[in-house]
Each structure stands twice: as C-alpha cells, then as structure tokens.
Amino acid sequence: MISERTRRNLRRELQRSLLAKIGIVVVVFMLAMAIFAPFISPYSPGQQNLENARQPPIGFSTKETKEVTKMENGSVVIENGQVVTEEQTVYTNATFAHPLGTDGNGRDILSRIIYGARTSILVGLFGTSLAALIGVLVGLSAGFYRGRVDDVLMRGADIMLAFPSLVLAIALVGVWGQAQAPIPDPFVVSGIAPAFRSAVGLPTGMPETVVLPGTVIVVVALVNWVWFARVSRGEALSIREEEYVKAARALGASDGRTVLRHVLPNAITPILVLATIQVAAIILLESALSFLGFSGADVSWGFDIALGRQYQSTAWWISTMPGLAIVVTVIGLNLVGDWLRDALDPGIEGEGGV
C-alpha cells in the first residue's frame, strides 16, 4: 500500500511541475493507443496498396520526374524505329485517408505507429520487469550478505558493464536466434473490435495476435539488470544497518523474511524510479535492434525506420514519423521518472515548477 505521506508528496510535486503533467499525459496517451489499437487504427498495419505508395502526410506534397512514352493524338510517337520518351513531372498530394502518409508498399504509417507502440511498449515493460527481477535479487543478496557473496555477484555485474549494451545484445540475439511469442489480441479474438469497426465504417481484418520478439525481451533484460543490481545493493548496504533490521534478526527472523519484509520495502523507491527510466532505455534498445534487423518483429518503430532508409531523399516521412513516436515516448517516460524521483526521494531537491 502507498502511504499517505507518499501520496501527498506525489500530489504536491505533480501540482508544482508542468513537465510532470506533460509526461503523464504522453505516457497515458501512448498506453491507451497501444491497448486500444484495434479500435482506433485506421487500417491493418500490414494492409498494402501499391497505388498509394509513398503518399506524403497532411500539409505536404511531392514532386517526382518520370520518363514516360510520348503520345500524340492518342498514338505512340516513333522516330527512326525507336519509341520516343519524354520527362513528365508528377505531383502527389496528401489525403486525409492517410494523415501521416504511406510507406513504400502503400501501408498506412499512422496504423503502423499505433500497432508499433504495442511491440515497443510491451518489450519495454516486460524487459524492465525481468531485468528488475534479476537485478534486485542479485543486488539485495550482495548488499545484505556482503563479503564473498558481494564480491562474486558484483564482479559479475562489472563484467557485464564492460560490454557495450548494443553489441552485447546483438551477440546474444545472434546466438539464440529470433524467437517470437504470439499473444492473442482479446479485442479481436472476442469479436468486439471487428464489430465496433464495422459499426463505424472502418476496415476490418485487424491482426488477431500481437507478435512479441521473445528473444529481444530476454536479451534486453540480461543487458540491463546490472543497473538494478547496483542500485538495490547500495540500498541494502545501508538498510541492513538500521535498528529494525537488527531487531528482526535478533528475534530469529530468517534472512529471506528479513529481506522481503524489511529491506526490500524500504529500498523500493529508487528501484521504481530506475524502472521508469529503464523502460525508456529498453524501448530505445529494442528500436535499435529492430532497425538493424535483429528483432524479428515486422511491426515495430525501429523496423519502420529501417524500411524508410532507401526513401530518405524522396519520402522522408516513412522514417521520421516512427522516429518521432520513439522520441515523444522516451521523453514522456523520462519526465515521469523525474517526477517520481523528486516526489519519492526527499533527499533530492525537486526540479519541477515550470
């Protein structure tokens, strides 16, 4: 349970900080977009229409020069036995049917951003949860027992820190392969989303499963557990010297009970703050792996950025739009993390109050 003091600190810091309000709005918006994707997505993320390929977003138009066969009076012009061609300028205007434009295969970018949020956010949440589980277990054990246990566990953590995160993640994915975990979409499988879309006149045929890159979730957790271990170890080293911990051990409480009942609850504040920031870091790492082709997910913000590389000079929006989604999400999560830090840690002076 959250204490009254903690709730009071959260409310006070939220009232002071405009950035905290913005961060919460962004995070809630992204979560709602991911959860209700089958209801709000204009199209299926995989629906192709090559006739609408590389259509610009609202407010923009494109100009492309093409070489076409020259026609006169409805007939092909032929000179010296050769078909005559001419350059023709073709203008493509934006339409409200695709407000953020389309990619090289005519797929709606807004729909892919909405469904890509599911992949990126779920990887961020699951990866952070697994990293926290491993890191907190290691850190609390090292800080509580100290001595040889501390030396062995934290030297292993130091070895992990010696490797760049992205390089280590790529190596692990290369060893284990691209395992995927399909999760049924309850809104689509139950028929709720198709019925709603039919009622409001939206296209049906939405994906029935959310394909999560299982290997990536495990890899990002193994790459990032070290940060949780270092934070929880520092807290455990301090808390184990408190009088209530010594009293519990004097009364015969086991080590496991002492850690779970006294050490962990009092160390949870910096762990929660770190978890919020790590979700953003893991979303960035997942996007980098998807961009490089190591994720295996075909609907992901990083994957869509990679698809737009070959169109940078002619269709910049294919890469820019999912990139903006990543930037906005990461900024929102960092703002929420700053709010939690300022509110939950009385030893840090608040930076809010914009």
Residues 33 and 85 in one domain: no
- pLDDT tens-place string over residues 136-157: 999 999 999 988 999 999 999 9
Contact between residue 65 and residue 86 where contact means Cβ atoms under 8 Å apart: no
Residue 298 lies in a domain: yes
Q: Which residues contact 320 (CB under 8 A, 6 or more apart)?
A: 308
Question: Mean pLDDT across the stretch 291-317?
Answer: 89
Residue 349 lies in a domain: no
Contact between residue 136 and residue 223 where contact means Cβ atoms under 8 Å apart: no
**332 is in which domain, residue-wise?**
4-59+100-344
pTM score:
0.87
Total domains present in the chain: 2
- pLDDT tens-place string over residues 309-349: 888 888 899 999 999 999 999 999 999 999 988 888 655 44
CA 73 to chain centroid: 57
Residue 254 lies in a domain: yes
CATH of the domain at 104: 1.10.3720.10
**Separation in Å, CA 137 to CA 2, 128, 233, 280:** 22, 14, 9, 22
CA 306 to chain centroid: 16
Residues 160 and 296 in one domain: yes
Residues 71 and 50 in one domain: no
- pLDDT tens-place string over residues 7-38: 888 888 889 889 999 999 999 999 999 999 99
Mean pLDDT of the chain: 88
Q: Which residues contact 342 (CB under 8 A, 6 or more apart)?
A: 13, 17, 348, 349, 350, 351, 352
Residues 175 and 48 in one domain: yes
Residue 275 lies in a domain: yes
Contact between residue 27 and residue 333 where contact means Cβ atoms under 8 Å apart: yes
